[in-house]
Amino acid sequence: MALKTINPTSTKAWSKLQAHFKTIENTHLKDLFTQHENRASEMTIQWEDFYFDYSKHRVSKETLNLLLELADEVDLKDAMHQYFGGEVINATEGREVLHTALRSPKDAEVIVDGENVIPEVYQVKEKIKDFSDKVCNGTFKSYTDQPFTDVVNIGIGGSDLGPAMVVEALSFYSNHLKTHFVSNVDGDHVNEVVKNINPETTLFVIVSKTFTTQETLSNANTIREWFLKHAPETAISKHFVAVSTNIEKVKDFGIDENNIFPMWNWVGGRFSLWSAVGLSISLAVGFDNFESLLNGAHKMDEHFKTEAFEKNIPVITALLSVWYNNFFNAETEAIIPYSQYLNQFATYLQQGIMESNGKSVDRNGDKINYQTGTIIWGEPGTNSQHAFFQLIHQGTKLIPADFIGFTESLHGNKDHQDKLMSSFFAQTEALMNGKSNDTVVEELKDSSISEAHMKFLAPFKIFDGNKPTTTILIKKLTPESLGKLIAMYEHKIFVQGIIWNIFSYDQFGVELGKQLANTILKELKDPNVINNHDDSTQNLIKYYQSKA
Ligand code: F6P
């Protein structure tokens, strides 16, 4: 079985959406609320501890029906069966896409190459549990017989962003271990980290699915050299563990076979935090919390798999994104979590979303003539309010935004929480309603300025409003609710890839730069090596060599 190759723009629903767009593009959100009684509650999905309100979007019931028709016409249902069923939907790499299997229950059956992979998934989970329990409770000791105090995760991309985001997001639940992340090949990164750790009590987790990634191997080698300045060779087996599919390469690096946590090719790097790639998470917050994260994701998988599309959170969020991307021509989407713990959430999603759906060739191999992957960015509120919100409110660009908030805080300081959430609600209200000329004039009348100055000022103080937002209100930031939230975006990626008729699970776009860097590196290391470059690149290399 293969994914269907339906060009979305050739569907009936697409033509209808184009015609419908003309009738709604200038309608203000305020009018949509007036026209549609009970809009707020009808456009809210309450599921488990999630309150998902999409009523502040520039859609009518008809828009939604047409978007749902589009999902049907591209046969999203069939694609979902293939996704969860372990078909080779990553056709360009010849792989299944089964991060969902990593959070499936023990009695589930997911067949890959004729074998149920679930028992193996649970074996690795057992190994993660056993190891993290022993490190956390101090029974797995360092070469100087001390309990570990620090963990350094060495990886990049999917082998870094997921664990780094989750470890920070769940820091409220963390234990005594301090977790550090080294990813950039910029030597300053690794040097800053080793400045703050004690080799006698630090555990190094090298994470690389392929174990060929230049950045990770360079950082791992630098750390090993640094470590061996303080410790004997025999200490390596106590301080270095690895997560990889490439067992031979890990062994060549000198890591003890018992210290290898395997993963599988059917898990994409950017979807791998649920596998042993999440070892640093399990170490930081304990295995039980890691398991709750997985359980949360599994609950979202079930919701996505079984819920009717009109009440299906990942489906609705994906369809809305297609609506803005392909009809309003909005190029970017903002993710604004009102939680400092989710500081790295947008950065993490950038890889998931942009590496997956940043494609311009369709599943037939043809160049695409419509827009695909959106640009994702964002920062936590309220900091972002004092940084880029001006542009969202009064700039010329349409930027749909996801507002993610929690009804209960973790710190328990009600005053701070009320202030935080009043800003949250105020922003989505302001973005939707704006501020009219009449209100502005009314407000200015109360000040003591002249009539002429009032006329001058008024236009600058008007807010058009009509800026769309989704509100995702969750009870509390817990490992489980975080798992649900991440899985929601993973499925959004999938749905959009299906609609845009692209392959979401390869990432050939990151290869060319790597290839050229290898060629240039040879030149930088040896000036006698000469390669052909364009004049600009040639000059830059020469300039660098003259200064370095
Ligand atoms: O950036 C490209 C990429 O292949 C990502 O998809 C992946 O997450 C990252 O590099 C790291 O790869 P690895 O885990 O194999 O070191």
User: Domain coordinates of the chain in residue numbers?
Assistant: 8-73+307-433+468-500, 114-291, 508-547
Task: Note the pLDDT tens digit of each residue in 235-293.
Answer: 999 999 999 999 999 999 999 999 999 999 999 999 999 999 999 999 999 999 999 99
For residues 173 and 485, what is the distance between their CA atoms, to the nearest angstrom?
17
Number of Cβ within a 10 Å radius of residue 357: 23
Q: Could you tell me the pLDDT band of residue 47, with boundaries at 50, 70 and 90?
A: very high
In short, whether 158's Cβ falls inside 6 Å of ligand 1 is yes
For residues 458 and 443, what is the distance between their CA atoms, to the nearest angstrom?
10
The residues that bridge with 116 in the sheet, in sequence order, are 111
Q: Could you tell me the pLDDT band of residue 446, with boundaries at 50, 70 and 90?
A: confident
Reference 23, options 70, 77, 60, 71; nearest CA is: 60
Identical topology for domains 8-73+307-433+468-500 and 114-291: yes
Ligand 1 midpoint to CA 138 (Å): 32
Task: Note the pLDDT tens digit of each residue in 353-369.
Answer: 999 999 999 999 999 99
For residues 442 and 445, what is the distance between their CA atoms, to the nearest angstrom?
5
Task: Note the pLDDT tens digit of each residue in 485-537.
Answer: 999 999 999 999 999 999 999 999 999 999 999 999 999 999 888 889 999 99
- Please confirm, yes or no, whether 355 is among the known catalytic residues: yes
From the options 3.40.50.10490, 3.30.70.360, 3.40.50.2000, 3.60.21.10, give the CATH code of 114-291: 3.40.50.10490
Contact between 490 and 99 under an 8 Å Cβ cutoff? The reply is: yes
Tell me the whole-structure pTM to 2 decimals: 0.98
In short, whether 469's Cβ falls inside 6 Å of ligand 1 is no
Tokens describing residue 339: 């939680």
* Residue 463 DSSP one-character state: B
* Residue 495 DSSP one-character state: H
For residues 27 and 303, what is the distance between their CA atoms, to the nearest angstrom?
32
For residues 292 and 302, what is the distance between their CA atoms, to the nearest angstrom?
15
Q: Which helix (H) or strand (E) holds 129?
A: helix 118-136
- Is the N-terminal amide bond of 382 cis, ω within 30° of 0? yes
Q: Where are the alpha helices (DSSP H) in 434-466?
A: 437-445, 451-461
In short, whether 326's Cβ falls inside 6 Å of ligand 1 is no
* Residue 243 DSSP one-character state: E
Please work out, in degrees rounded to the nearest 5, the angle formed at the alpha carbon of residue 19 by the alpha carbons of 16 and 20: 80
Task: Note the pLDDT tens digit of each residue in 379-430.
Answer: 999 999 999 999 999 999 999 999 999 999 999 999 999 999 999 999 999 9
Please work out, in degrees rounded to the nearest 5, the angle formed at the alpha carbon of residue 260 by the alpha carbons of 189 and 83: 90
Mean of the per-residue pLDDT values of the chain: 97
Task: Note the pLDDT tens digit of each residue in 194-245.
Answer: 999 999 999 999 999 999 999 999 999 999 999 999 999 999 999 999 999 9
- What is the atom index within ligand 1 of the atom nearest the CA of 155? 16
234 sits in the region (left: phi over 0; alpha: psi -120 to 50; else beta) called alpha
Average pLDDT on 287-306 reads: 98
Q: Answer whether residue 308 shows pLDDT above 90.
A: yes
Please work out, in degrees rounded to the nearest 5, the angle formed at the alpha carbon of residue 170 by the alpha carbons of 165 and 171: 100
Comparison of pLDDT for 166 and 445, the residue scoring more:
166
What type of residue sits at position 7? N
Average pLDDT on 49-76 reads: 98
- Please confirm, yes or no, whether 408 is among the known catalytic residues: no
- Please confirm, yes or no, whether 30 is among the known catalytic residues: no
Average pLDDT on 129-153 reads: 98
Q: Could you tell me the pLDDT band of residue 296, with boundaries at 50, 70 and 90?
A: very high
Query: Could you say which of 22, 386, 411, 525 is catalytic?
Result: 386
In short, whether 363's Cβ falls inside 6 Å of ligand 1 is no
Q: Could you tell me the pLDDT band of residue 109, with boundaries at 50, 70 and 90?
A: very high
- Report the pLDDT value the prediction gives residue 546, as an integer from 0 to 100: 92
Ligand 1 midpoint to CA 87 (Å): 22
Architecture of domain 8-73+307-433+468-500 in CATH? 3-Layer(aba) Sandwich (3.40)
Residue of the nearest CA to atom 2 in ligand 1?
510
423: burial class by Cβ within 10 Å (0-12, 13-18, 19+)?
middle
